[in-house]
Amino acid sequence: MLATRTSVGAALALTLSLGGCATDPTSPPITDPPVSDNAPSAEPDPRTRAEQEAIQAFVAFNDAYNKLRQNGYDDRDDYVLSLTCGEFTVDFTSQNDIFYAAGARQVGEEVLSGFKVVDQQFVPNGLPFVDDSVTFEVCIDSSNTDVVRPDGSSVLQRGSTGRFVTAVAMWRHKDPNSEDHIWKVASVNVDRGRPC
């Protein structure tokens, strides 16, 4: 980049001298401005930043949910539940309660890959607690996981694990205790007809 700028600067000086413009021999030579290695990187636009934040929030949710399932579906402090909203909270609670009552736990870990944003909505002045929503597809690989009872037998139906495209909707909520906004999982829909 510096070589290109220097060449442009030299060409400009040459053009000025060839064009009949006299240069003052006492004036300093034309040089390029210094290039800083510490130049700030460009901030992503608000939509891109929202997409990145929503995906990061889902990755954090999935990590916490893997741990919760591996520890017997015990969410006594409701931390993982606090990362959900809407109807998904009801489904999430119901499923966890069933597996917790059965003494089940997850073996292995789901792995996420291939995020693709498919929709984003900005709510200009927001609903009272919801500002934005981002929907994306992600490949969730649960092929190395199982949910087992205390005796080691599987709770899951054959074919329920694998690598499937999953549509995830995230909503950004205003935190009632601060000025912060929190991305929460609003829905997770596994499409077993779309392996990935």
Residues 35/12, Cβ–Cβ less than 8 Å: no
Domain of 72 in residue numbering reads as 46-195
Question: What's the confidence (pLDDT) of residue 132?
Answer: 83
Structure confidence by residue, pLDDT tens digits, 89-132: 998 888 889 999 999 999 999 999 999 999 988 765 555 556 78
> Same structural domain for residues 157 and 120?
yes
Cα–Cα distances (Å) from 77 to 22, 68, 80, 103, in that order, read: 78, 11, 8, 18
Domain of 186, CATH number, reads 3.10.450
Question: Both 13 and 102 in a single domain?
Answer: no
Q: Check whether residue 90 and residue 181 sit in a common domain.
A: yes
| Alpha-carbon span 153 to 120, nearest angstrom | 41
In sequence order, the 6+-apart residues with CB closer than 8 A to the CB of 160 are none
Residues 154-167 have pLDDT tens digits of 988 776 778 999 99
Instruction: Specify whether 135 is located in the same domain as 178.
Output: yes
112 with 138, same domain: the answer is yes
44 sits in the region (left: phi over 0; alpha: psi -120 to 50; else beta) called beta
